[in-house]
Structure 1
């Protein structure tokens, strides 16, 4: 049975979860799907497109609504739920790959500058949180119980 684009994205997210972004290669994704790497290019033209699709999938359930703080927390939780999720989403955003729905909706709710600042804060804090948690899991650092609270404090400062 032939793979679909959705299968390729799902496979890439499984590779991401197992190996992290640094080792999430087209070759590994193809191996995960049991195909040759060239078969992936029937579904995605390049790794950047795949990265954008992965980012879109990671944030697909995030609703902006009418509360930017709630949206920021939801975005953070969505990225934290996936190994290196913040790196994937932040990279896609920085290179303007994929869906910018969240940024656009935040900009309509606030201002374009505040929306961008908010996203950069969420990306940065979430990336730092993920790195810290990964380091704590392997014993390099002690757990930091203040990461969630510090996120909320910083978010409050930005929104004030």
Structure 2
């Protein structure tokens, strides 16, 4: 006789998000999550083959919650909006930037981050290869900046540093530089 499961996959992901936000990525372990759910760690493997697939599901859920459809308009305004939305989605959760960047780098999840940025570049006049390069460049800017911001906030709150994170103005300035570079590439392709 098979014992019915006490939790659905979505329950496990929801609790994993709560553990992530309360304790951070380093403490999001299968053992801690199982304790939060009042099950044995082995029960989690019914839903996830390993911790990496669990982390990928958590990253995907964070992106689902944080990314919204882009406004209509010119590609450069959509790109700025997409990057800003992504940054906000990553910063909404403790260690969210590190989590999403890691699972994306491993090819396990976080594809919505790239897709969101790439979608904004549609209609830019760049060919597929250059759109992909531009999307990856913006994605790396967002991942890097958001990870640095979260690291600085945590170090500051622990008393390890006195510095304040760069914040939204620093991010906006850097993004503006990158978008200007992409815009210049677009213009060079349309100038005889």
Tell me if both proteins adopt one fold, taking TM over 0.5 as the criterion. Answer: yes
1:72-151 equivalences under 5 Å are 72-110=83-121, 111-144=131-164, 146-151=166-171
Q: Distance in 2 between matches of 1:8 and 1:143?
A: 36
- Say whether 1:159 aligns with 2:179: yes
Q: Which residue of 1 aligns with 2:124?
A: none
Q: Which residue of 2 aligns with 1:68?
A: 79
Q: Distance in 2 between matches of 1:140 and 1:102?
A: 31
* 5+ residue gaps, structure 2: 73-77, 122-130, 181-192
Contact 2:82/2:120 (8 A) holds in 1:
no
Q: Distance in 2 between matches of 1:145 and 1:38?
A: 40
Q: TM-score, normalised by structure 1?
A: 0.92
Moved more, 51-60 or 90-99: 90-99
Over aligned residue pairs, what C-alpha RMSD do you find? 1.6
Q: Which residue of 2 aligns with 1:32?
A: 36
Q: Distance in 2 between matches of 1:109 and 1:126?
A: 20
Classify 1:81/1:4 alpha carbon distance in 2 versus 1 (closer, same or farther; 3 Å): same
The DSSP-based 3-state class of the residue aligned with 1:96 is coil
Residue among 17, 21, 38 paired with 2:21 = 17
Q: Distance in 2 between matches of 1:144 and 1:135?
A: 10
The DSSP-based 3-state class of the residue aligned with 1:3 is coil
Classify 1:49/1:145 alpha carbon distance in 2 versus 1 (closer, same or farther; 3 Å): closer
Contact 2:90/2:96 (8 A) holds in 1:
yes
Q: Distance in 1 between matches of 2:69 and 2:137?
A: 15
Query: Which protein has the larger Cα radius of gyration, Structure 1 or Structure 2?
Result: 2
Deviation at 1:147, TM superposition (A): 2.3
The runs of at least 4 aligned residues of structure 1 exceeding 3 Å deviation read none
Q: Distance in 1 between matches of 2:120 and 2:36?
A: 41
